[in-house]
């Protein structure tokens, strides 16, 4: 990705945090990025393609994280230690805070939120099934797990990390791990 693409994305995200998507124009992005319209169109067909690229980068990364940790057993989840998958996701959120604030914020894209939720829930469900849980229990556990991951990210992002400076990605990952470890120990219909 070129520095110009990064600059365009940042300008777009700055605008998107404070405006509905349909109220943002290419002209607005170009003015904010201090580039010409011609430069914008070198990189993007339109604002929709820019938005989809940002969304797909996030969804692809989250999917890859779940894929990387597919073979790690939840039996390895210990209290007071962050589960690596959660830490990877939260570090990514922290690194891409502007995109998350724009996409999950007040003016955010509901279809992205739905895709994000489905991806996380499906990945969690598959993990619980791999761990040997009954489908009905895996569904409930996936909803709880995905809800925790998504709501923690959303709340953390929208609060701007400002309420408590001690709340780091690692601390949130430990708290999430503890919650998931508690679910794991329930051993419903396994």
Identify whether residues 60 and 39 lie together within a single domain: no
Q: Based on the fold, state whether residues 31 and 122 are members of the same structural domain.
A: no
Domain range for residue 156? 56-184
Q: What angle do CA 63, 68, 72 make, to 5 degrees?
A: 120
| 7 and 69 share one domain | no
> Structure tokens of 182?
């508690």
Q: Do 94 and 1 sit in the same domain of this protein?
A: no
**pLDDT at residue 87 above 80?**
yes
Indicate if 89 and 21 belong to the same structural domain: no
Query: Tokens standing for 2?
Result: 């070129």
Residues 61-84 pLDDT 10s:
999 988 887 777 766 666 677 777
Same domain, 121 and 72: yes
Q: Distances from the Cα of 164 to the Cαs of 88, 95, 100, 171, in angstroms?
A: 21, 18, 19, 11
Q: Is residue 34 located within the same domain as residue 125?
A: no
Together in a domain, 5 and 77: no
The answer to whether 141 and 124 are in contact (CB under 8 A) is yes
| Residue 147 located in a structural domain | yes
How much is the pLDDT for 74?
Answer: 66
Mean pLDDT taken over the chain: 85
| Number of domains, the chain | 2
pLDDT at 76: 66
Same domain for 104 and 20 = no
Entry pTM: 0.85
Q: Which helix (H) or strand (E) holds 101?
A: helix 97-104
Is 189 within a domain?
no
Assess if residue 110 is contained within a domain: yes
Percent of the chain with pLDDT over 90: 42
105-138 pLDDT, tens digit per residue, is 889 888 998 999 899 899 888 888 888 888 998 8
State the DSSP H helix or E strand holding residue 88, giving kind and residue range, or none if neither. Answer: helix 84-95
149 falls within a domain? yes
Annotate 105-114 with b (16+ C-beta within 10 A) or e (fewer): eebbbeebee
What is the C-alpha separation between 146 and 120, in angstroms, rounded? 6
Is the same domain home to 62 and 94? yes
3-state secondary structure of 112: helix
Q: Please say if the pLDDT value at position 176 is more than 50.
A: yes
Note whether 169 and 103 are same-domain residues: yes
Most confident of the ranges 27-41, 77-91, 140-154: 27-41
Residue 190 — pLDDT band, cuts 50, 70, 90? very low
- In whole angstroms, how far apart are CA 95 and each of 33, 35, 98, 101? 20, 25, 8, 12
| Of residues 110, 104, 138, the one with CA closest to residue 122 | 138
Nearest to 49 by CA among 102, 23, 1, 12: 12
Position 49 in a domain: no
pLDDT above 80 for 13: yes
Residues 135 and 163 in one domain: yes
Please report whether residue 26 resides in a domain: yes
């Amino acid at each position: 990705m070129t520095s110009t693409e990064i600059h365009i994305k940042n300008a777009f995200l700055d605008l998107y945090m404070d405006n509905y998507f349909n109220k943002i124009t290419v002209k607005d992005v170009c003015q904010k990025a201090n580039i010409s319209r011609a430069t914008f169109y070198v990189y993007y067909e339109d604002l929709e393609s820019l938005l989809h690229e940002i969304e797909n980068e996030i969804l692809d990364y989250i999917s890859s994280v779940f894929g990387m940790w597919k073979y790690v057993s939840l039996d390895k989840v210990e209290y007071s230690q962050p589960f690596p998958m959660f830490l990877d996701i939260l570090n990514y959120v922290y690194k891409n805070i502007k995109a998350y604030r724009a996409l999950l914020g007040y003016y955010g894209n509901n279809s992205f939120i739905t895709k994000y939720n489905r991806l996380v829930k499906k990945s969690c469900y598959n993990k619980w099934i791999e761990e040997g849980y009954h489908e009905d229990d895996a569904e409930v556990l996936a909803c709880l797990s995905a809800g925790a991951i998504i709501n923690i990210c959303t709340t953390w992002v929208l609060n701007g990390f400002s309420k408590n400076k001690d709340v780091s990605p690692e601390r949130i990952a430990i708290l999430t791990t503890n919650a998931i470890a508690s679910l794991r120990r329930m051993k419903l219909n396994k």
